Amino acid sequence: MASPTPAARPGSDFQAGLSQAGPILVPGRTCWRVAKADRVAVIIDAAAYFARLKAAILGARHTVMLIGWDFDTRIKLEPDDPIPGVPNELGDFLSWIVRVRPELTINVLKWDLAVLKMPFRGRTPLVLLDWMSSRRLRFRLDSAHPPGACHHQKIAIIDDALAFCGGIDMTTDRWDTPEHRDDDPRRVRPSGEPYGPFHDVTTAVDGEAARALGELARERWRRATGDALRPPPPTEAHWPEDLEPDFRDIPVAIARTDPMADVEAADDEHRQKTGKRGVREIEALYLAAIAAARRFIYLESQYFASQRIVGAIAARLSEPDGPEVVVVNPERAPGWVEEEAMGSARSLLVQRLRAADPHGRFRILAPVTEGGQGIYVHAKVLVVDDRFLRVGSSNINNRSQGLDTECDLAIECPPGGREQSENCRAIRSVRTRLMAEHLGVPVAEVERTEDECGSLVATVDRLMRPSGRSLRPLEPEPLSEAEVALVDERLLDPDRPEPMAQIVLRGATVFGDVNRTTLRIAAGVAAGAAIGLGLAVWAGRKGLGKNFRGE
């Protein structure tokens, strides 16, 4: 049961959002670098993203780079209104465009263990094998990560002039519109089987920010394949005509999690002494943003399982005048192993958060359709006080902070003057669009209610409805002793690279008395680890992650 709605605070002003705390974005600490973008747009849901990316690739002149956790060549990019004469399935479209545009090269990089799904995807493996032997449409598998880790970035680069970066994978079960209809006939897998409503977010940037993302993508390609790609010649940005920018002429920060990256030169001495490498800028960015919050924290994430991030939120909720916190999550994780790991962690951490929230300033909610069906939340969004916005690939779980490879973009309002007011209003516009989508009400109603209440939590409480399209409170599930131990020891959600033997040893130490639940979980983890490591060895022997040119 949610705590009573907090009263509006004196001086609350959702139109201003002008907290005067110090900067959150600090290159070398909370981000890799800050680069200027002429235009930035936040793209909500994959229907809009797939169409914009298709249009951008049609306008490409030199190179396209697609860096992702997964790709499925059979997905339709525009189920509604495909362009006449242009193939609409991802694989056919990319194969077609390099045939008709001989000056264009396309490079596709995919996490190597996501290839496990290939045998169940019809002709997808055949298309990818064909791409492996192509000189201008090249597909490679990325195995440059520690055991148990995954490549989780979702980036598309067009000529280093336009880039997309966020949470949306170009694979099945992603396409949906902000309406999230209960029975949308366009929301089907290539097999014809329907899938449920799906919410996600990405960004589009141009200018120096796009060039920086191109540099990051080429470094990923080099580490995965050994092949150093040249940057494309300078090209004018081909911004999608129907994509209205949310921000103009604004610095954009790029933050990473990368356990295999060498630390910056300033930390070389530390690395030599400790043997540690890798960057955890995203974790530092989360913690700095949470510490800087004065009025509210708004979060959308697939999971809510990071002990450090949730611990930082708990510390803020315990303060007498700390910020309000609203978290939007899916009702459940897909699959029993994932639910056992991430669902158990969420239940335990939410219990602890509520114990640390004597003022009733915390809400965790899940969106549902008009018919009450759960909408799966895959977005990764953080808004603080309407002066800070972050969108990316990283989840609120342990592995996104130190084990997997992630990339987030962030914008912070510079202090003072008209420019700050405009950018803060733009951040507020992005947040209220998201909230209106989840609550099933017009954006104007969200803004009007906020202005009346002076409180994010009070706004959500007032606009939630008991039936129809809305948000629903999430209640933690009771956990067994074994499940609590799994969460606390991070056995299923580690935050740093660790030898498998050490994980097994820790697990054996934690569980002196093995019960049925523990055996079931351990069997699943062991099977997954064995399959994953076996496939990684196979991929390495076959050369799928290294310089497979077919020349």
User: Can you give the pLDDT at residue 545?
Assistant: 45
> Dihedrals φ, ψ of 489, to 5°?
-90, -5
Name beta bridge partners: 141.
110
Least confident window among 174-183, 203-212, 322-331, 412-421: 412-421
Name beta bridge partners: 163.
157, 205
Name beta bridge partners: 331.
none
DSSP strand pairing (105-111 vs 63-68): parallel
Name beta bridge partners: 337.
none
Entry pTM: 0.87
* Amino acid identity for residue 324 in this structure: E
Selection from 113-122, 174-183, 229-238, 491-500 with the highest mean pLDDT: 174-183
H or E segment to which residue 132 belongs: helix 124-132
How far from 139 is each of 43, 90, 230, 383, CA to CA, in Å?
A: 26, 13, 17, 35
**455, 8 Cβ separation under 8 angstroms:** yes
Model confidence at 419: pLDDT above 80: no
Domains of the chain are 37-244 (3.30.870.10), 252-262+272-473 (3.30.870.10)
Tens of pLDDT along 425-465?
A: 999 999 999 999 999 999 999 999 999 999 999 999 999 99
Model confidence at 476: pLDDT above 90: no
> Dihedrals φ, ψ of 97, to 5°?
-70, -30
The model's confidence at residue 258, banded by pLDDT at 50, 70 and 90, is very high
Q: Between residues 539 and 386, which one has the greater pLDDT? A: 386
Model confidence at 387: pLDDT above 60: yes
User: Can you give the pLDDT at residue 101?
Assistant: 94
Residue 159 φ/ψ region, left for φ over 0, alpha for ψ in the -120 to 50 degree band, beta for the rest? left
85-107 average pLDDT score: 94
Least confident window among 107-116, 180-189, 260-269, 456-465: 260-269
Tens of pLDDT along 285-298?
A: 999 999 999 999 99
User: Can you give the pLDDT at residue 491?
Assistant: 66
Model confidence at 125: pLDDT above 60: no
Q: Between residues 130 and 51, which one has the greater pLDDT? A: 51
Model confidence at 466: pLDDT above 80: yes
Helix H, strand E, coil C: the string for 384-452 is ECCCEEEEECCCECCHHHHCCEEEEEEEECCCCHHHHHHHHHHHHHHHHHHHHHHHCCCHHHHHHHHHH
389-408 average pLDDT score: 96
Name beta bridge partners: 52.
none
**492, 477 Cβ separation under 8 angstroms:** no
The model's confidence at residue 267, banded by pLDDT at 50, 70 and 90, is very low
Q: How many residues does the chain have?
A: 551
Tens of pLDDT along 521-540?
A: 555 554 444 444 444 444 44
Model confidence at 384: pLDDT above 70: yes
Q: For residues 389 and 412, give the distance between their C-alpha atoms in angstroms, rounded to a whole number.
A: 7
Q: What is the DSSP letter of 194?
A: B
Name beta bridge partners: 151.
405
User: Can you give the pLDDT at residue 535?
Assistant: 45
User: If you search the block for the tokens 């049961």, which residue do you land on?
Assistant: 1
Q: Mean pLDDT of all residues in the chain?
A: 84
Q: Which of 77, 120, 114, 117 is nearest to 97 (CA)?
A: 77
User: Can you give the pLDDT at residue 201?
Assistant: 98
User: Can you give the pLDDT at residue 6?
Assistant: 62
The model's confidence at residue 550, banded by pLDDT at 50, 70 and 90, is very low
Tens of pLDDT along 41-82?
A: 999 999 999 999 999 999 999 999 999 999 999 999 999 878
16-24 average pLDDT score: 60
The model's confidence at residue 18, banded by pLDDT at 50, 70 and 90, is very low
User: Can you give the pLDDT at residue 294?
Assistant: 96
Q: Is 342 helix (H, G, I), strand (E, B) or coil?
A: helix
349-375 average pLDDT score: 96
User: Can you give the pLDDT at residue 129?
Assistant: 59
User: Can you give the pLDDT at residue 489?
Assistant: 67
Q: What is the DSSP letter of 15?
A: T
